[in-house]
Amino acid sequence: MSKNTSPPLEQAFLEQGVKLPLRPSESECGVVLDADGRDVLTVDSNGFQPDDQVSALATLIAACVNQSGGVILPDPESANG
């Protein structure tokens, strides 16, 4: 994992006990976890939206936070070949 030049936001998350990158949970729909596997937030905690939409939102939120925090994750396509 490499990082570009946005340490202030990443530092702000660290000060709140949240280590980037964020990622959606593989076992709990709508839960977003930090790099240490701790819950950070839950999308649609009342269960009103369909699971596929909740999963998509969790993935988008994690991606936006990671990008804004300067975290660059490896491209899965380039890793395969």
Element (H, E) at 39: strand 39-42
pLDDT given for residue 6 in this prediction: 47
Reading across the β-sheet that carries 23-24, which strands appear in turn?
Answer: 23-24, 31-33, 39-42
pLDDT given for residue 77 in this prediction: 63
Residues of the chain predicted below pLDDT 70: 1-7, 74-81
